[in-house]
Amino acid sequence: MTLNELVRFLESKGIELTFNGDADTQIQQVAPLDKAEPGSLAFFNDKKYLSALETTRASAVILAPQFVSASKTATIAVKNPYYVYALSAQYLYPRIQTPRGIHPTALIDDTAKLGKNLRIGPYVVIGAEVEIGDDCDIQAGTSIAQGTKIGANCYIGKNVVIENDCIIGNECNIKSGATIGGEGFGWAREGKQWNRIPQIGRVILGDRVSIGNNSTVDRGAIEDTVLDDNCIIDNLVHVGHNCYLGESVAVAALSGFAGTTKVGANCTVAGQVGFAGHLTVCDNVHFMAKSGVTSDITKPGVYSGFPVTDAKDWQRNAARARNLDSMFKELKALKKELQALKDSQD
Amino acid sequence: MTLNELVRFLESKGIELTFNGDADTQIQQVAPLDKAEPGSLAFFNDKKYLSALETTRASAVILAPQFVSASKTATIAVKNPYYVYALSAQYLYPRIQTPRGIHPTALIDDTAKLGKNLRIGPYVVIGAEVEIGDDCDIQAGTSIAQGTKIGANCYIGKNVVIENDCIIGNECNIKSGATIGGEGFGWAREGKQWNRIPQIGRVILGDRVSIGNNSTVDRGAIEDTVLDDNCIIDNLVHVGHNCYLGESVAVAALSGFAGTTKVGANCTVAGQVGFAGHLTVCDNVHFMAKSGVTSDITKPGVYSGFPVTDAKDWQRNAARARNLDSMFKELKALKKELQALKDSQD
Amino acid sequence: MTLNELVRFLESKGIELTFNGDADTQIQQVAPLDKAEPGSLAFFNDKKYLSALETTRASAVILAPQFVSASKTATIAVKNPYYVYALSAQYLYPRIQTPRGIHPTALIDDTAKLGKNLRIGPYVVIGAEVEIGDDCDIQAGTSIAQGTKIGANCYIGKNVVIENDCIIGNECNIKSGATIGGEGFGWAREGKQWNRIPQIGRVILGDRVSIGNNSTVDRGAIEDTVLDDNCIIDNLVHVGHNCYLGESVAVAALSGFAGTTKVGANCTVAGQVGFAGHLTVCDNVHFMAKSGVTSDITKPGVYSGFPVTDAKDWQRNAARARNLDSMFKELKALKKELQALKDSQD
């Protein structure tokens, strides 16, 4: 591909850019600045790597306008270089897709409504009344149970399970091994027995929602579990019944949400974070790794610890916690000293 | 369904109840008190929602006898409203099942012994000498390896793996993506190599055991891994080799049990809790979220923290931990003050 | 099997041993010392169980030379009894394998290159240009996507997903439900949208790597995610994009590695540990359960806590943390006392 082609593609996506260099230069791959060979496209997004920008062997670099002068290669100057890098890489590396059409071993119920231009892999099972939008790719071994509706342009990996009556938006990305719409953990105890409470809510995913490998999103107990548009969820994450994750929420691996917790738009959740049930978190909160959220959060900011506090407080306190033993000893010595002083005055 | 039908069903299940209202009222669905429309069945289980009970538009409410007078709708007064709600919902919302019979693509070894009235979905694989009790539902893409025995009335989801020689009781519920009977994490190091120790124990699940989506229960090293009757396990939980979970133990998502740990009856474990190996926990212990259990627990109660302590102590200490930095500063100031006092006296 | 046969097998594996007893004794099974019946092989590896060694009914015990005199049964004296036990158990309990050959329902692309003596189970899907070495066992429902290369003698469980272009060494063990080579969690935000960054690196597993049930190892963003020879990973572990785990690293269940973190050889990681991204950990570090690693580790040792510190310091401090409330009260009392003393002197 020539840089000219790439620039045209980016412009077709609405990117405002200033191109500088030889438009006929061939680009074959992306690479990090410091490892790029000629033929590579790189991006520069962090001043820390300024020397790598100055010495890179890449054939072109995507960067912010103010760094153009630091580069000796062709440049594509844009407002948000990382985003433009993402678009460029999507263009250079089209997704590996299931071959077009429906594999003869896919079992599709007669009552399912299928869109156009589908790719449905081997050993896929699609239940009654399922609806699938145009241009979806549903890969090998995936099951989609009765009544589930999937929008257009979704990419659903291998050995995924989507249980009945879920609603999946457009351009969603459900990665291999994920389970969507499983029964929530709802039980009523009587004597020694835990009695299953039928989970009659659904899972509703907005548009452009992504669910990571082997993650689980449980269906609602009575109302629905909802992940709003643009939510992205990493691997091995658990979303409990009736949760609501607002627009553009991002959740890293091994985090979990107990039931009926609501998280506002733009929240970002690092790895191994846990949320208790029935909480409400406002918009624009970042939770640091391993934090534990046990009460409502009403003020945007960065939180950490268990139970969570303001991250700066947590850091200060955590630093002290590493000296707790010496603090204890100082306290003991001080006590003694004070006693000695008092004794000396009697 | 009429309330009359529902009441008869509940009585057939041995529920003692007092019905108040028009038995011919139609019920179509369950709903929360505050969102219920006419035709809905609701339940009242928490005094916090008393005003919702007084104003609900539900056609009937399941509640404890002392609240009947607060309700303007038909009432079903029972001792354990949440349990009776569970039964009612099970009746109103029968489970979605695999069609009766064995799907032609299911591969069943000739030596397997199958019960009556089975539902076996597409692309299921059932190995040699497997036994499956009556009325089981085994869903698409699930593999059950040789020698495993499954009781009656089990519901086994999609893409489940049950490895060889496991024993599953009656009325068990293994949710989609779970892996039962995988090799435990047993290795003997020699030089740079970790050498696999064959795991020759089994997984034994009692009756009415439920395993969540994408959870893993490893087989025993020599002896068995056992989950006793009525254990319920949420999603993404790990149970290591040789563990024993007592009757009615409940475990929330993302918790893990290292090998050979024994947990007594009726213990409840919140999310992201971890248990070290070779521990013994007595009956009737609750572990709060994110706690880490590193030694035997011999006294029933509520525990929290890492390492766990009595939850009340933990709460007190955790509150102080949030002021550790100011505590440190106070200590430092005190030290100075004392020194000044001493100096002034020399 | 006779002890003679076992001894010959061990010698064929290069084990130096001293056998003592009747070589014709029959061995049918392995068992723990205290539960062994005649016909059992046991091992002794921990002085704590010396009395069990003295009274065992096992027909033979594997042990270190200095304990031979404590045993009344046949003995196999070796340097590393646990390792020799592992080998013996492997010999007594050969793995349960998929029947030899390729199941007629396995779908194998014409361009795939298959080694000799394969076992490929039902409903396996193998993509274009995949290469599989000799003697592999690939079990039911597993998908291996295009371009992936797998060495010889690998054991790949059921419903595993290996995405495209991965490289798996020899004698690897990928357990059921694991997902290898999924897209890493790489996103560029623009407005409300998270834009997918194509993950064009691979997953490369060395020889004798083991991946646990339902674990996920993500492919690299640009460069590769690498697990070096002899890494062993437990269940429900997440390895993020571009991570490098050195030789012989062992990781217990529910631990996670954020992107681009490098862990040195021989590190061992207990359960529920989390690693932040872009870290470097030196060789020979042990991380205790639930620890959180947020900065580089340059000194071998045992670490614990969040953020991690030297485990001994952590234990001391954690013990104090359990008395934080009384420490706070003492501090307050001390303050008062000092004030009183000062007041008395005015």
Q: Are B66 and B73 in contact (CB under 8 A)?
A: no
Backbone angles phi, psi at C70, to 5 degrees: -80, -10
Q: Cβ contact (<8 Å) for A157 and C182?
A: yes
Over residues B24-51, the mean pLDDT reads 94
* Total count of domains within chain A: 3
> C144 contacts in A (CB within 8 Å)?
none
Pair (A163, A23) in one structural domain: no
Q: Mean pLDDT, to the nearest integer, of C135-151?
A: 98
Per-residue pLDDT tens digits for A313-334 = 999 999 899 889 898 999 999 8
Residue B346 has pLDDT above 90, yes or no: no
Token readout for B212 is 């969540």
Element (H, E) at A333: helix A324-345
Is residue A122 reached through a cis peptide bond, with omega within 30 degrees of 0 on the bond before it?
A: no
Rounded Cα distance, B311 and B295, in Å: 16
| Mean pLDDT, range B207-222, rounded to an integer | 97
Chain A CB contacts of B250 under 8 Å are 187, 194
DSSP E strands: which ranges in C253-327?
A: 256-257, 262-263, 268-269, 274-275, 280-281, 285-287, 292-293, 301-304, 309-310
Helix pair angle (A311-321, A324-345), 10° resolution:
70
CATH number of domain containing B246:
2.160.10.10
A138 interface with C at CB cutoff 8 Å? no
Of C86, C159, C236, the CB nearest to B216: C236
Q: Is C286 a catalytic residue?
A: no
| A346 pLDDT above the threshold of 80 | no
In CATH, what number is assigned to the domain containing residue B83? Answer: 3.40.1390.10
The fraction of chain C above a pLDDT of 70, given in percent, is: 100
Q: Residues B127-141: pLDDT tens digits?
A: 999 999 999 999 999
Question: Do B170 and B256 lie in a common domain?
Answer: yes
Is residue A105 within 8 A of residue C213, CB to CB? The reply is no
Q: How far apart are CA A194 and CA A198, in angstroms?
A: 12
Paired with C174 in beta bridges are C156, C211
Q: Are residues A207 and A296 in the same domain?
A: yes
CB-count burial class (<10 Å; 0-12, 13-18, 19+) for B346: exposed
- Percent share of chain B, pLDDT over 90: 92
Say if residue A225 is in the same domain as residue A237.
Answer: yes
A169 in reach of chain C (CB within 8 A)? no
Q: How far apart are CA C305 and CA C43, in angstroms?
A: 35
pLDDT in tens, C201-247: 999 999 999 999 999 999 999 999 999 999 999 999 999 999 999 99
Residue A229: list chain C partners with CB under 8 A: 192
Alpha-helical segments (H) within C110-197: none
What crossing angle do the helices spanning B324-345 and C324-345 adopt, rounded to 10°? 30
Query: A140 Cβ partners below 8 Å, 6+ apart?
Result: A98, A103, A121, A122, A123, A124, A158, A159, C125, C143
Of residues B344 and B29, more confidently modeled: B29
Looking at the structure, tell me whether residues A68 and A188 fall in a common domain.
no
pLDDT in tens, C23-44: 999 999 999 999 999 999 999 9
> Which one of B103, B241, B278, B286 is the catalytic residue?
B241
Average pLDDT over residues B319-332: 90
- List CB contacts of B260: < 8 A, sequence separation 6 or more: B240, B241, B242, B243, B277, B278
Which chains neighbour A (Cβ–Cβ under 8 Å, 3 or more pairs)? B, C
| Average pLDDT value over all residues in chain C | 96
Report DSSP letters for B305-318, one per residue: TTTTEEHHHHHHHH
Shared domain for C75 and C193, answered yes or no, is no
Residues with Cβ within 8 Å of A307's Cβ and at least 6 positions away in sequence, in order, are: A292, A293, A294, A295, B318
Please say which residue of A54, A72, A92 terminates a domain.
A92
Arithmetic mean of pLDDT, A166-185: 97
Side-by-side strand order, sheet with C216-218: C107-108, C125-126, C143-144, C161-162, C179-182, C216-218, C238-239, C256-257, C274-275, C292-293
Asked if the model's pLDDT at residue C342 lies above 90, the reply is no
Nearest to A333 by CA among C317, B325, B338, B326: B338
Per DSSP, what are the bridge partners of residue B63? B77
Query: Degrees (nearest 5) of the Cα angle C232, C249, B295?
Result: 85
Q: pLDDT band for position B345 (50/70/90)?
A: confident
Same domain, B200 and B319: no
Q: Taking a contact as any Cβ pair under 8 Å apart, which residues of chain C between 92 and 121 contact chain A? A: 107
- What is the pLDDT averaged over residues B102-109? 98
Per the CB < 8 A criterion, the answer to whether A188 and A195 are in contact is: yes
**Which of B161, B194, B274 lies at the smallest CB-CB distance from C271?**
B274
Q: Which ipTM score applies to this complex?
A: 0.96
Average pLDDT over residues C260-277: 98
User: What distance in Å separates the CA atoms of residue B5 and residue B19, rounded to the nearest whole number?
Assistant: 12
Separation in Å, CA of C22 to nearest CA in chain B: 25
Contacts of B345 in chain A (CB under 8 A): 341
C232, C209 contact by CB (below 8 A): yes
pLDDT in tens, B251-273: 999 999 999 999 999 999 999 99
One domain for residues A72 and A132 = no
Question: A50 and A194: one domain?
Answer: no
**Same-domain status, A210 and A330:** no
Confidence check: pLDDT of B176 > 80: yes
Last residue of a domain, one of B92, B126, B152: B92
Percent of chain B's residues with pLDDT above 70: 100
* In contact, A119 and A136? CB cutoff 8 Å: yes
Residue A241 has pLDDT above 70, yes or no: yes
Q: How many CB pairs under 8 A join B and C?
A: 191
Residue A54 burial (CB count, 10 A):
13
C344 confidence band (pLDDT: 50, 70, 90): confident
The mean per-residue pLDDT over the stretch A171-191 comes to: 97
Containing structural domain, residue A336: 315-345
Cβ atoms of residues A43 and A82 within 8 Å: yes
What average pLDDT does the segment B274-290 reach? 98
Chain A residues closer than 8 Å to B318 by CB: 306-307
> Are C206 and C116 members of one domain?
yes
For the residues of B2-46, what is the DSSP string, one character each?
BHHHHHHHHHHTT---EEES-TT-B--EE--GGGPPTTEEEE---
Q: Tell me which residue in B159, B182, B194 faces C230 most closely, judged by beta carbons.
A: B194
pLDDT band at A83 (very low <50, low <70, confident <90, very high): very high
Q: Chain B within 8 Å of A190 (Cβ-Cβ)?
A: yes
- Residue pointed to by tokens 């006793």: B228
Describe the strand order of the beta sheet including A125-126 as a list of residue ranges: A107-108, A125-126, A143-144, A161-162, A179-182, A216-218, A238-239, A256-257, A274-275, A292-293
Å from B202 to nearest chain A CA? 24
Task: Determine the average pLDDT of the residues in A206-210.
Answer: 98
Q: Decide if pLDDT at B56 tops 90.
A: yes
CB A173 within 8 A of CB A155: yes
Please identify, among A92, A117, A133, the residue that sits at the C-terminal boundary of a domain.
A92
Tell whether C224 and C109 lie within a shared domain: yes
